Structure 1
Amino acid sequence: MIKAVLFDLDGTLLDRDASVKRFIHSQYSRLNRMVGHVPREEYVARFIDLDQRGYVWKDKVYQQLIKEFHITGLTWEELLQDYLTDFKYHCEPFPNLVPMLEELKSRNLWLGMITNGRGQFQMDNIEALGIKKYFDCILVSEWEGIKKPYPEIFTRALMKLNVSPEQSIFVGDHPENDVIAAQNAGMIGVWKKDLQWQIEVEFKVNDLTEIPLLIKICENGRDF
């Protein structure tokens, strides 16, 4: 019987691609006096390219932007601080996020989240989505001192929830850091499909609304 469902954040609950686009367009507009010599679409596209979907921290991104675009009147530290301060105002959830969480809670399932990233930054984004109240434990890699795909961070979350791996599902978008890593920790790994990746996996969803049904399917041991 499934007792707990754990989630990744970026690319799974938070539509990070859409959120980044909203933020960087806003940053360009707000700081136009210093960055306006660069065409908007060029600034936005280069940020997204350098960001590598969040796998490159923004200190490196902004240092490169300043160098390439000859930005003056702003330091990379100031741009980074703007990112840290303002990103949360542009967080966009995937469709049906809250209804899905409410349905899982109504079934008396334990909910957890494991996300790689900076502690306060990730918590700010979770708060911005309005979903913190649904989770019984939230682990952020910076604060834990370990990150996915290492099995220990999954084990810590399961200990906090007091459930066994066999009673747990982990939902994430990254094939290695989420799905395979969860399986290596003894959990059922569920892939939140992302066109960027290709993976052969038993359990997958296109939309968050599919997760409650998938839980029943996992319990019955059937393909999805």
Structure 2
Amino acid sequence: MIRSVVFDVGETLVDDTREWRSWADWLGVPAHTMSALVGAVTAQGRDNADALRLIRPGLDVVKERRARQAAGCGEQLSDYDLYDDVRPALAELRSRRIWVGVAGNQTTEVAELLRDLDLPVDAVATSGEWGVAKPDPAFFTRVIEWAPGAPAEIMYVGDHPANDVVPAKAAGLVTVLLRRGPWGYLWANDPEGGRAADWVVDGLADLPDLVAGADFR
């Protein structure tokens, strides 16, 4: 029985197009160049921040993000950035008495932006607030401490096999790989990534029924 469902943020709930376009503008390259570089590092299994360092070698991403913020070009988040299936799926899960959380690799600023969206969730947390980021096992220890239920009663939903599926599964959580965003599409059929998940889904609309009806263990 699943008691809690916890969602990743980027390319799970939020379309990252605007954020990558903002980085392209900040670093002075065309948006299509940024997209191509994100695709390249994704295909190589590298961290997405490496796309920024290909443009500006040695870039300190944390420092540069603060500079963007100070210049009034910081992270933005609105309903415009949410995928269309997000609010209906989250609301349906809660209507079925499932505890719903959001926890991903985001800054403290994004945590506040997420809360301002008033999503139908029980709690929001980010790596910036917790001081630990995926795929560190300590991140999923925090998820287990935070969400109601034993590990096998907590589901983690994300688009990134290496950051989401593999470490969440190692922590004993039920895992769902969402096929969207560059990582989800590219690595969904990887035997040690997407295919290692308990489920692979193309969207969030069917998730409530799957949560209710599946026998995971």
Q: By the TM > 0.5 criterion, same fold? A: yes
1:141-152 equivalence runs, <5 A: 141-152=127-138
Closer, same or farther: CA 206–136 of 1 in aligned 2, 3 Å? same
Deviation string for 1:29-74 (max 9, x for gaps)? xxxxxx6xxxxxx62123334556782189857746xxxxxxxxxx
- Higher Cα Rg, which structure: 1
Distance 2:108 2:65 in 1: 21
| Secondary structure of 2:211's aligned partner | helix
Question: 2:200: which partner in 1?
Answer: 204
Over the matched positions of the two proteins, sequence identity in percent amounts to 25
Deviation string for 1:91-147 (max 9, x for gaps)? 511122111111111111111122113221x2244246442xx33332311221211
Question: 2:35: which partner in 1?
Answer: 48
Matched, 1:101 2:101: no
Closer, same or farther: CA 82–63 of 1 in aligned 2, 3 Å? farther
Closer, same or farther: CA 43–202 of 1 in aligned 2, 3 Å? same
1:110-125 equivalence runs, <5 A: 110-120=99-109, 122-125=110-113
CA RMSD of aligned residues (A): 3.5
Deviation string for 1:148-171 (max 9, x for gaps)? 122222222222233211111110
Task: Give ranges in structure 1 of 5+ residues lacking alignment.
Answer: 29-34, 36-41, 65-74
Task: Give ranges in structure 2 of 5+ residues lacking alignment.
Answer: 58-63, 189-193
Structure with greater proportional helix content: 1
Distance 1:58 1:84 in 2: 19
Aligned length: 196
Distance 1:76 1:162 in 2: 33
1:28-107 equivalence runs, <5 A: 43-50=30-37, 55-56=48-49, 60=53, 63=56, 79=68, 81-82=70-71, 84-85=73-74, 87-88=76-77, 92-107=81-96
Distance 1:135 1:45 in 2: 34
Question: 2:61: which partner in 1?
Answer: none
Closer, same or farther: CA 76–157 of 1 in aligned 2, 3 Å? closer
For residue 122 of structure 2, the aligned residue among 122, 129, 136 is: 136
| Secondary structure of 1:195's aligned partner | helix
For residue 20 of structure 1, report the CA deviation from its aligned partner: 3.4
Distance 2:71 2:147 in 1: 35
Closer, same or farther: CA 189–95 of 1 in aligned 2, 3 Å? same
For residue 177 of structure 1, the aligned residue among 152, 155, 163 is: 163
Distance 1:182 1:57 in 2: 23
Instruction: Report the TM-score, using the length of structure 1 for normalisation.
Output: 0.71
Question: 1:166: which partner in 2?
Answer: 152
Distance 1:146 1:44 in 2: 30
AA matched with 1:214 = L
Distance 1:107 1:22 in 2: 37
Distance 2:72 2:33 in 1: 15
Distance 1:46 1:83 in 2: 23
